[in-house]
Structure 1
Amino acid sequence: MSAPDEETALLGLAPVAPDRSVAYGPHPDQVLDLYGSWGADAGPLVVLLHGGFWRAAYDRRHLSPLAAELAGRGVPVALAEYRRVGAGGGAPQTFEDVAAAVGAAVAEAGRAHRGVVLVGHSAGGHLALLTAARSESPATRVLAVSPVADLALAHELDLSDGAVAGLLGGDGPGFAERLAAADPLRHPPAGTTVTILHGTADPDVPPELSRRYADAFPDATDLHELPGVGHYAPVTPGTAACRELLARVGTRGRSSVA
């Protein structure tokens, strides 16, 4: 499947409505969509962070089929929305929202889970890696999928037409300091196991970003490259790449998607 076909396949899936939603703040984008069973026999709590280069044009709905697929395999899933660039987000609001969303998901689950797994795709992978660097983070594992793991290189490559500068409020005075503060490559995981899945044919976020992160933190990072896979297949239920993701999360049962 080519890169454009991967995007079409994911975005062509019908959104799956959550079982319920809860707000973690007053802004309309400060919300968690909850999927699956949140009872005493729940597996690891999965907090799912979507991508879209941190921009308001992209919301959580395209990952709702993945959230439902994970939930169908026996784990509680919180699909997080957060303020994004163009709608009250950017640094630091986006980062504050992710921390608050993870905390709210853990509080919602109470004791009915076995560990907290952050699963982030693309820009959501960047946010998951930043969360993994917080000593107070409740995450026990992070699975970053095609993540923007090296923010400085992403800016140098001008990924998505200046997305990094947009996230950080423009490439002006103080930009170097803001970039360093938000770059996962400058902040090692704080006692959290990190797994990265990245397709070797990803045209949107080059796999070199993940390789550099793994080289920087070899003792804490497990990098798995997916030969010939692009940007979207790992989060598209029914693909071989997505089955790899499901296995890494630690779900049980068979896929509900053919």
Structure 2
Amino acid sequence: MMDPRDPAGVAAAEEASLFGLAAVAPDATAAYGEHPDQVVDFHLPPEGAAGGPAPLVLLFHGGAWRAACDRRHLSPFAAHLAIHGLAVALPEYRRGGVAPGRRGGPGASGSCDGGTPGAARRAGRGVEPGGEAHPEHPAGAQHLAGRWPETFDDIAAVVDAVPRLVRENALPGVDAERPVLAGHSAGGHAALWAAARHRLPPGAPWRLSAPPRVRGVVALAPIADLTTARALHVCSDAVDQLLGTGDEGAARLPFADPAALLPTGVRTTLVRGGTDVDVPPQVVDSFVAAATAARQPPRVVRIAGAGHFPLIDPTAPAARTAVDEIARLAADGPDA
């Protein structure tokens, strides 16, 4: 039995529960680009479960933008959403490359966040579905967090491509015209950023001329404010690795930080665990403060007694709240 007086032990047990789940095979997979990571898996609800066209959820996985975690660790939660009548698009995207001259030791391919490797992480380790190693993610290598600009290229590209992919693959009964953007941890950042592309500085390659056609955003334990996450060294300095340090990082921050791209005009819900030690509460709180100052206060749902991973673990009670919040936005009609 977990001892609530041992936060590290509780967090490790929550992580072990999620990463101990078997990956769930998708109903369909489509490519949105030529790179091996530019693919998206579709998890579809049982026939008739949605009572009509199933709203689409575009669900981004986390893992601190590092190659150690791929989309498969989020597949049980994607399948769980599908059981509840939602169609889910679960994309892969380019994550961190191999750190020069660094192999093995702490932070190797068994670790999503660059900290102490988690023995529980048996799924989602940058290995292709057939079992062979990914050509850019060799076993035993240490990986940086994300790639500039490729990680952002892929987030933008898959959001733009998914409605077309649904049509081209003739996926039955899927309403993809106004998806819900959702994501966990670094994937929560991706969802918030994708909803804010019309707020990017002029000249940004990902900028949209108008708000995206989405029902809203549900960000689960998101790395929502990169400035605060950087100051707190979240996920072993993942933000510095994603953007760079010094003048380089400062120049990229206005193009990458959702907290700097407010207001979006897109309905936004943030869900966080009350005992999350991976993404501290200050990261969400600072985003909420910025959004409130921009006169777009988001809906915030705090789940007492839950850490970082139960939000996406179908066996944990906290996942019920996450499903309910996603379903709440998905239930709005296409013209809402």
- Calculate the TM-score normalised by the size of structure 1: 0.91
Cα distance between partner residues in 2 of 1:38 and 1:51: 26
Q: Alpha-carbon deviation of 1:189?
A: 4.5
Amino acid at match of 1:80: P
Match of 2:182 among 119, 133, 155: 119
Cα distance between partner residues in 2 of 1:32 and 1:49: 10
1:210 and 2:284 matched: yes
Match of 1:45 among 44, 56, 71: 56
Unpaired runs of 5+ residues, structure 1, are: 253-258
* Percent pairwise identity: 44
Cα distance between partner residues in 2 of 1:55 and 1:237: 23
- Tell me how many residue pairs correspond in the alignment: 251
Q: Alpha-carbon deviation of 1:104?
A: 1.8
Residues 202-241 of structure 1 correspond to what in structure 2 (within 5 A)?
202-218=276-292, 219-241=296-318
Cα distance between partner residues in 2 of 1:56 and 1:189: 31
Cα distance between partner residues in 2 of 1:235 and 1:167: 24
Query: 1:211·1:223 contact (CA, 8 Å) conserved in 2?
Result: no
State the match for 2:37 in structure 1: 29
1:105 and 2:162 matched: yes
Query: 1:125·1:147 contact (CA, 8 Å) conserved in 2?
Result: yes
Cα distance between partner residues in 1 of 2:175 and 2:297: 23
Cα distance between partner residues in 1 of 2:246 and 2:289: 30
Distance 1:108 1:189, change over 3 A: farther
1:67 and 2:69 matched: no
Cα distance between partner residues in 1 of 2:42 and 2:69: 19
State the match for 1:198 in structure 2: 272
Distance 1:38 1:130, change over 3 A: farther
Distance 1:220 1:107, change over 3 A: farther
CA deviations on 1:24-73 (whole Å, 9 max, x unpaired) are 00000000001105999322210110001101111011000011111111
232-241 vs 127-136, which deviates more? Answer: 127-136
Query: 2:156·2:194 contact (CA, 8 Å) conserved in 1?
Result: yes
The two structures, once aligned, show a CA RMSD in angstroms of 2.1
Unpaired runs of 5+ residues, structure 2, are: 3-9, 98-135, 138-145, 168-172, 199-207, 331-336
Determine which structure has greater relative contact order: mean sequence separation of CA pairs < 8 Å that are 6+ residues apart, divided by chain length. Answer: 1
Cα distance between partner residues in 2 of 1:247 and 1:183: 27
Query: 1:134·1:189 contact (CA, 8 Å) conserved in 2?
Result: no
Match of 2:213 among 128, 138, 153: 138
1:245 and 2:326 matched: no
Q: Alpha-carbon deviation of 1:105?
A: 1.6
Cα distance between partner residues in 1 of 2:175 and 2:159: 14
Amino acid at match of 2:90: L
Q: Alpha-carbon deviation of 1:112?
A: 4.0
Cα distance between partner residues in 1 of 2:74 and 2:218: 15
Query: Which has more radius of gyration?
Result: 2
State the match for 1:165 in structure 2: 240
Q: SS state of the match for residue 44, structure 1? A: strand
Distance 1:208 1:172, change over 3 A: closer
34-43 vs 227-236, which deviates more? Answer: 34-43
CA deviations on 1:138-157 (whole Å, 9 max, x unpaired) are 32210000000110111111
Q: Alpha-carbon deviation of 1:74?
A: 1.3
- Calculate the TM-score normalised by the size of structure 2: 0.70
Cα distance between partner residues in 1 of 2:320 and 2:153: 31
Amino acid at match of 1:92: P
